[in-house]
Structure 1
């Protein structure tokens, strides 16, 4: 029993050290090159309705309830969603737009837990193609920050899937 307790205390101590060393800030980004000019790619991301045509998170619940508000394609354009346990509930709001170059958004999550994140979609010309870089930044409170150990692979799966869809519809 003493050996088990020593091991348990050691594991808990190690997790606390890892948690503190990791910090709260989380950044993720991934990119894809799309064989289309920036203005064509921009058409598929400049409004929340266009964004949701390839948004991978819409796949989490085929019956997700989405409501749009604000002026489409302008700062303040937003959608709020309410879905199953996988999709959760929240709002996604455009906070800045630079036509054919950058869209910045804020995501407010209510369910399954309250949090906020910011996200950028940045377009960069690459010859006759366009590189799209999608990033997300947030802070995760202790001990939730331990999720960072597993988040990169899940984020790559989600954001990578979205960028593949964006590529398909932009190259049509």
Structure 2
């Protein structure tokens, strides 16, 4: 078993309430998520509350999009915690957090995902680190979050 952490951060030039609202509702993720345009025919399903704890989003798409779900488990003005469960192309359970801090000119956003590789995945991902695999997606997501928050 090996553990990993992927983290990226950026200053979003919008107030914390606007940024929080874009992250706290999966209905808003289509405006900024780096994965939303991976498969134009991807099936999406929202359930639970519109936003905050219990909000749930599931997707299934082509090989690159895969299959999985996300659930918001906690939400406070400066932090949103969720769990991402991947079913395909590989199985993974990833606690994920967005930590928000008001700063001059906007909101500092830190996007953090942790996880564990077990069995064969531990061998495969030893040669393909998660930071190199997912980090660029987080960077693109933060750029898109900036665009959505300032639109």
Q: Same fold (TM over 0.5)?
A: yes
Equivalent residue for 1:129, pick from 106, 116, 141: 106
Extract unaligned runs of 5+ from structure 2: none
Q: How far 1:57 sits from its partner (Å)?
A: 1.5
Q: Could you tell me how far apart the structure 2 residues matched to 1:91 and 1:36 are?
A: 28
Q: Would you say 1:33 and 2:22 are equivalent positions?
A: no
Following TM superposition, where does structure 1 have runs of at least 4 consecutive aligned residues deviating by more than 4 angstroms?
A: none
Equivalent residue for 1:156, pick from 125, 135, 140: 135
How many residues get paired?
Answer: 149
RMSD: 1.4
Q: Could you tell me how far apart the structure 2 residues matched to 1:157 and 1:150 are?
A: 12
Extract unaligned runs of 5+ from structure 1: 1-22
Larger radius of gyration: 1
Q: Would you say 1:74 and 2:57 are equivalent positions?
A: no
Alignment of 1:2-151 (within 5 A): 24-99=2-77, 101-146=78-123, 147-148=125-126, 149-151=128-130
Question: Of Structure 1 and Structure 2, which has the larger fraction of its residues in strand?
Answer: 2
Question: Of Structure 1 and Structure 2, which has the larger fraction of its residues in helix?
Answer: 1
Q: Could you tell me how far apart the structure 1 residues matched to 2:63 and 2:105 are?
A: 42
TM-score by length of 2: 0.91
